Amino acid sequence: MGRNFRFGIGGLVCTAVVVLFFTFPTLIDPHPRFSGTTSHSTVVIEPTFTIAAYQPHGFYDYYRNAYNTRCLTVRLKPMQYTYNMYYAGSSNALQKIESLGISDVVTDEQVTQNPSILANYSKVIVLHNEYVTQSEFDAITHHPHVLYLYPNALYALVSYHPSSGTITLEKGHGYNGVRNAFNWPPSMSTKDEYNTSCNNWQLEKVSNGSALNCYPEFDILHDARLLSLIIGI
Protein backbone atom coordinates (compact mmCIF):
# COMPACT_ATOMS: atom_id res chain seq x y z
CA MET A 1 0.00 0.00 0.00
CA GLY A 2 1.61 3.21 -1.15
CA ARG A 3 0.28 5.80 1.29
CA ASN A 4 2.55 8.66 2.27
CA PHE A 5 3.34 8.54 5.96
CA ARG A 6 4.97 11.54 7.54
CA PHE A 7 8.50 10.31 7.58
CA GLY A 8 10.44 12.85 5.38
CA ILE A 9 13.74 11.05 5.93
CA GLY A 10 16.73 11.50 3.65
CA GLY A 11 19.09 8.83 2.43
CA LEU A 12 21.92 9.71 4.81
CA VAL A 13 19.68 9.34 7.84
CA CYS A 14 18.40 6.06 6.46
CA THR A 15 21.93 4.75 6.06
CA ALA A 16 22.92 5.72 9.58
CA VAL A 17 19.85 4.17 11.14
CA VAL A 18 20.20 0.90 9.24
CA VAL A 19 23.77 0.62 10.50
CA LEU A 20 22.54 1.33 14.02
CA PHE A 21 19.80 -1.29 13.69
CA PHE A 22 22.31 -3.99 12.85
CA THR A 23 24.25 -3.20 16.03
CA PHE A 24 21.61 -4.51 18.42
CA PRO A 25 20.46 -8.10 18.94
CA THR A 26 17.05 -9.25 17.81
CA LEU A 27 14.32 -8.60 20.38
CA ILE A 28 11.47 -10.38 18.60
CA ASP A 29 9.61 -12.93 20.67
CA PRO A 30 9.69 -15.98 18.39
CA HIS A 31 6.49 -17.53 19.76
CA PRO A 32 3.94 -14.81 20.59
CA ARG A 33 0.42 -15.77 21.61
CA PHE A 34 0.53 -19.30 20.13
CA SER A 35 -1.31 -21.85 22.22
CA GLY A 36 -0.79 -24.83 19.94
CA THR A 37 -4.49 -25.62 19.50
CA THR A 38 -4.76 -28.11 16.69
CA SER A 39 -8.35 -28.97 15.70
CA HIS A 40 -11.28 -26.98 14.32
CA SER A 41 -9.69 -23.71 15.33
CA THR A 42 -8.69 -20.37 13.85
CA VAL A 43 -5.32 -18.67 13.67
CA VAL A 44 -4.51 -15.06 12.77
CA ILE A 45 -1.28 -14.01 11.04
CA GLU A 46 0.12 -10.79 12.49
CA PRO A 47 1.69 -8.70 9.66
CA THR A 48 5.05 -8.15 11.31
CA PHE A 49 6.90 -7.88 7.98
CA THR A 50 4.52 -5.15 6.83
CA ILE A 51 4.89 -3.30 10.13
CA ALA A 52 8.66 -3.28 9.60
CA ALA A 53 8.36 -2.15 5.99
CA TYR A 54 6.36 0.94 6.96
CA GLN A 55 8.70 2.07 9.73
CA PRO A 56 10.88 5.17 9.25
CA HIS A 57 14.05 4.42 7.29
CA GLY A 58 12.32 1.48 5.63
CA PHE A 59 10.86 0.58 2.28
CA TYR A 60 8.72 3.68 1.98
CA ASP A 61 11.67 6.01 2.35
CA TYR A 62 13.18 4.11 -0.58
CA TYR A 63 9.97 4.43 -2.60
CA ARG A 64 9.84 8.17 -2.00
CA ASN A 65 13.54 8.92 -2.50
CA ALA A 66 14.35 6.10 -4.92
CA TYR A 67 18.10 6.22 -4.46
CA ASN A 68 19.20 4.53 -1.25
CA THR A 69 18.93 0.76 -1.44
CA ARG A 70 20.06 0.40 2.18
CA CYS A 71 16.47 1.22 3.09
CA LEU A 72 15.39 -2.02 1.42
CA THR A 73 16.67 -4.05 4.37
CA VAL A 74 14.85 -3.26 7.60
CA ARG A 75 14.83 -4.66 11.08
CA LEU A 76 11.71 -6.26 12.52
CA LYS A 77 10.25 -4.32 15.41
CA PRO A 78 10.48 -5.65 18.99
CA MET A 79 7.17 -7.07 20.18
CA GLN A 80 6.48 -4.13 22.48
CA TYR A 81 6.54 -1.83 19.45
CA THR A 82 4.59 -3.86 16.92
CA TYR A 83 1.49 -1.74 17.36
CA ASN A 84 3.26 1.50 16.37
CA MET A 85 1.86 1.19 12.85
CA TYR A 86 -1.80 1.23 13.81
CA TYR A 87 -3.18 1.61 10.29
CA ALA A 88 -0.72 -0.49 8.30
CA GLY A 89 -0.23 -3.05 11.06
CA SER A 90 -3.89 -4.07 11.53
CA SER A 91 -3.75 -3.13 15.21
CA ASN A 92 -7.52 -2.63 15.58
CA ALA A 93 -8.26 -5.93 13.89
CA LEU A 94 -5.81 -7.83 16.08
CA GLN A 95 -7.28 -6.42 19.25
CA LYS A 96 -10.87 -7.01 18.16
CA ILE A 97 -10.23 -10.54 16.96
CA GLU A 98 -8.50 -11.48 20.20
CA SER A 99 -11.40 -9.97 22.16
CA LEU A 100 -13.69 -12.39 20.31
CA GLY A 101 -11.79 -15.32 21.81
CA ILE A 102 -9.52 -16.10 18.86
CA SER A 103 -6.32 -16.21 20.83
CA ASP A 104 -3.91 -17.99 18.49
CA VAL A 105 -1.80 -15.40 16.67
CA VAL A 106 1.32 -16.25 14.70
CA THR A 107 3.74 -13.87 13.02
CA ASP A 108 5.03 -13.69 9.47
CA GLU A 109 8.39 -14.98 10.62
CA GLN A 110 6.83 -17.98 12.38
CA VAL A 111 4.96 -19.00 9.24
CA THR A 112 8.09 -18.44 7.15
CA GLN A 113 10.22 -20.66 9.37
CA ASN A 114 7.53 -23.30 9.91
CA PRO A 115 4.98 -23.13 7.06
CA SER A 116 3.26 -26.32 8.25
CA ILE A 117 2.08 -24.45 11.35
CA LEU A 118 -1.01 -23.35 9.40
CA ALA A 119 -1.98 -26.98 8.83
CA ASN A 120 -2.75 -27.18 12.57
CA TYR A 121 -5.77 -24.97 12.00
CA SER A 122 -8.98 -25.37 10.09
CA LYS A 123 -9.22 -21.62 9.39
CA VAL A 124 -6.70 -18.84 8.79
CA ILE A 125 -7.26 -15.07 8.97
CA VAL A 126 -4.85 -12.95 6.93
CA LEU A 127 -4.65 -9.27 7.87
CA HIS A 128 -2.70 -6.53 6.06
CA ASN A 129 0.09 -8.99 5.27
CA GLU A 130 1.27 -7.00 2.28
CA TYR A 131 4.89 -8.22 2.48
CA VAL A 132 5.48 -11.97 2.73
CA THR A 133 8.15 -14.51 1.92
CA GLN A 134 7.72 -17.15 -0.76
CA SER A 135 7.29 -19.92 1.80
CA GLU A 136 4.66 -17.92 3.67
CA PHE A 137 2.81 -17.15 0.42
CA ASP A 138 2.80 -20.84 -0.47
CA ALA A 139 1.57 -21.87 2.99
CA ILE A 140 -1.28 -19.35 2.95
CA THR A 141 -2.46 -19.94 -0.60
CA HIS A 142 -2.40 -23.73 -0.18
CA HIS A 143 -4.53 -23.65 2.96
CA PRO A 144 -8.13 -24.52 2.05
CA HIS A 145 -9.98 -22.05 4.27
CA VAL A 146 -8.58 -18.50 4.44
CA LEU A 147 -10.31 -15.20 5.18
CA TYR A 148 -8.36 -12.31 3.64
CA LEU A 149 -9.61 -9.52 5.87
CA TYR A 150 -7.61 -6.73 4.19
CA PRO A 151 -7.09 -5.89 0.52
CA ASN A 152 -3.54 -5.78 -0.84
CA ALA A 153 -2.37 -8.86 1.06
CA LEU A 154 0.34 -11.04 -0.51
CA TYR A 155 1.53 -8.20 -2.73
CA ALA A 156 5.32 -8.01 -2.40
CA LEU A 157 8.08 -10.58 -1.86
CA VAL A 158 10.62 -10.26 0.93
CA SER A 159 13.38 -12.48 2.26
CA TYR A 160 13.69 -13.03 6.01
CA HIS A 161 17.05 -13.22 7.81
CA PRO A 162 16.56 -14.77 11.26
CA SER A 163 20.12 -14.18 12.46
CA SER A 164 19.82 -10.41 12.06
CA GLY A 165 16.05 -10.14 12.53
CA THR A 166 15.66 -8.30 9.23
CA ILE A 167 13.74 -8.51 6.00
CA THR A 168 14.82 -7.42 2.52
CA LEU A 169 12.52 -6.40 -0.33
CA GLU A 170 13.10 -8.74 -3.25
CA LYS A 171 10.28 -8.01 -5.69
CA GLY A 172 7.04 -6.07 -5.95
CA HIS A 173 5.53 -2.68 -5.11
CA GLY A 174 7.32 -1.23 -8.12
CA TYR A 175 10.78 -2.43 -7.12
CA ASN A 176 12.70 -3.45 -10.24
CA GLY A 177 9.61 -2.64 -12.27
CA VAL A 178 7.36 -5.31 -10.70
CA ARG A 179 4.10 -4.39 -9.00
CA ASN A 180 2.47 -7.68 -7.96
CA ALA A 181 5.31 -9.99 -6.98
CA PHE A 182 3.26 -13.19 -7.00
CA ASN A 183 0.74 -12.43 -9.77
CA TRP A 184 -1.89 -13.49 -7.27
CA PRO A 185 -5.25 -12.45 -8.77
CA PRO A 186 -6.90 -10.96 -5.63
CA SER A 187 -4.04 -8.47 -5.23
CA MET A 188 -3.71 -7.52 -8.89
CA SER A 189 -5.83 -4.44 -8.20
CA THR A 190 -5.21 -2.30 -5.12
CA LYS A 191 -8.30 -0.09 -5.43
CA ASP A 192 -10.12 -1.75 -2.53
CA GLU A 193 -7.45 -0.73 -0.04
CA TYR A 194 -8.55 2.89 -0.43
CA ASN A 195 -12.14 2.05 0.48
CA THR A 196 -11.81 2.78 4.18
CA SER A 197 -15.48 3.57 4.75
CA CYS A 198 -16.48 -0.07 4.14
CA ASN A 199 -20.02 0.95 3.24
CA ASN A 200 -21.92 -2.01 1.81
CA TRP A 201 -18.84 -4.19 1.95
CA GLN A 202 -18.89 -7.61 0.37
CA LEU A 203 -16.94 -10.82 0.48
CA GLU A 204 -15.45 -11.94 -2.80
CA LYS A 205 -14.63 -15.56 -3.50
CA VAL A 206 -10.99 -16.47 -4.05
CA SER A 207 -9.45 -19.82 -4.84
CA ASN A 208 -8.97 -20.85 -1.21
CA GLY A 209 -11.50 -18.79 0.73
CA SER A 210 -12.87 -15.27 0.61
CA ALA A 211 -11.59 -11.70 0.60
CA LEU A 212 -13.13 -8.53 1.99
CA ASN A 213 -13.42 -5.75 -0.59
CA CYS A 214 -12.64 -2.83 1.74
CA TYR A 215 -10.03 -1.76 4.29
CA PRO A 216 -11.71 -2.45 7.66
CA GLU A 217 -9.22 -0.99 10.14
CA PHE A 218 -11.71 1.57 11.46
CA ASP A 219 -15.06 -0.13 10.88
CA ILE A 220 -13.98 -3.33 12.58
CA LEU A 221 -14.30 -1.48 15.90
CA HIS A 222 -18.06 -1.04 15.56
CA ASP A 223 -19.45 -2.94 12.56
CA ALA A 224 -21.46 -5.85 13.95
CA ARG A 225 -21.60 -7.52 10.54
CA LEU A 226 -17.83 -7.57 10.30
CA LEU A 227 -17.53 -9.09 13.73
CA SER A 228 -20.16 -11.69 12.88
CA LEU A 229 -18.19 -12.51 9.76
CA ILE A 230 -15.08 -13.23 11.82
CA ILE A 231 -16.93 -15.28 14.41
CA GLY A 232 -18.71 -17.30 11.76
CA ILE A 233 -15.78 -18.18 9.51
Least confident of 80-84, 143-147, 211-215: 80-84
Domain-located, residue 205: yes
Domain-located, residue 153: yes
Domain-located, residue 4: no
Structural domains counted in the chain: 1
pTM of the model: 0.80
Domain-located, residue 31: no
- Inter-residue contact 95 to 86 (CB < 8 Å): no
Domain-located, residue 3: no
Q: Does 53 score more than 50 pLDDT? A: yes
Range of the domain at 200: 11-17+40-231
Domain-located, residue 28: no
Domain-located, residue 140: yes
Confidence of residue 193 (pLDDT cuts 50, 70, 90): confident
Instruction: Please tell me the distance from the alpha carbon of residue 105 to that of residue 219, in angstroms, as a whole number.
Output: 21
Domain-located, residue 30: no
Over residues 106-117, the pLDDT tens digits come to 999 999 999 999
